[in-house]
Amino acid sequence: MAESANFLSKLTVIFREELEQDDLTITMQTKQSDIESWDSLAHVRIVMRLEREYNIQLDVSEIEGINSVRGFYDAVESHSG
């Protein structure tokens, strides 16, 4: 799980900056409905950061389909394979 731990720590930094909450914590179980400030704008901003970080491009249905931290992880995994 070292890979996912690495991913999680990167994603935590991104979440904190884009959701503008310095003390936010996320886990691999966190869902969009758990975090109030995770709205569609924040979602898009997180996507853009991940695309830049991992040099990938997610399409509309992927972006729309993600609603959890796990979803982000799976999307990044599927593009890096």
Partner 1 sequence: MNFDLPWLERPTQEDRERLKFATSTSSDVDAEGLRRLVTRDWSEVELRSIGRAIRRYTRTQPIDGASTGQNEGPATFSLLLISQNTVTHLVDALIASSLRVGILLDCRTVEYQEPETWLAENRAKLSAAPPSASMYIPDRTSLNLNSCVGDPVLAAEGVNRAVDRVKRIADQLHEFTGRSVILQTLAVDVSDSQLSMDAWLPGSPRRILAAFNEGITQYARERSFPIFDVAAIADFVGAMHWSAGRYWYVAKLPFAPAFIPLYSYRLVQLLATMLGKSRRVLVLDLDNTLWGGLIGDDGIEGLTVGLGSARGETYLAVQRLALDYKRRGIILCIASKNTESIARDAFVRHPGMLLRESDIALFQINWRDKATNISAMADALSLGLDAFVFLDDNPAERKQVRDALPLVAVPELPSDPSEWPLVFQAAAYFEQLNFSAEDQGRTEFYRGNALRDVQAKTIGNHEEYLQSLHMIMTVTSFEPLGRTRIAQLISKSNQFNLTTRRYSESEIAGLEEAPEYETMQIRLEDMFGDNGMISVVICRKLNRIWEIDTWIMSCRVLGRGIEQATLRVLVDHARAANALELRGTYLPTAKNGLVRDHYAKLGFVEVDRAGTSGTTWKLVLSNYLAWEGPIEIREPHAAADSPKH
Write phi, then psi, for 68 (nearest 5 degrees). Answer: -160, 165
Among 27, 37, 41, 78, binds partner 1 (CB under 8 A): 41
Which residue number, 22 or 36, has a Cβ lying nearer to partner 1? 22
Q: Does 44 bind partner 1 (CB under 8 A)?
A: yes
Q: Which helix (H) or strand (E) holds 53?
A: helix 40-54
Q: Other C-beta atoms within 10 Å of 69: how many?
A: 24
Q: Number of residues interacting with partner 1: please give it, by CB under 8 A.
A: 18
Amino acid at 16: R
What are the residues binding partner 1 (CB under 8 A)? 17-18, 20, 22, 40-41, 43-45, 47-49, 51-52, 59-60, 63-64
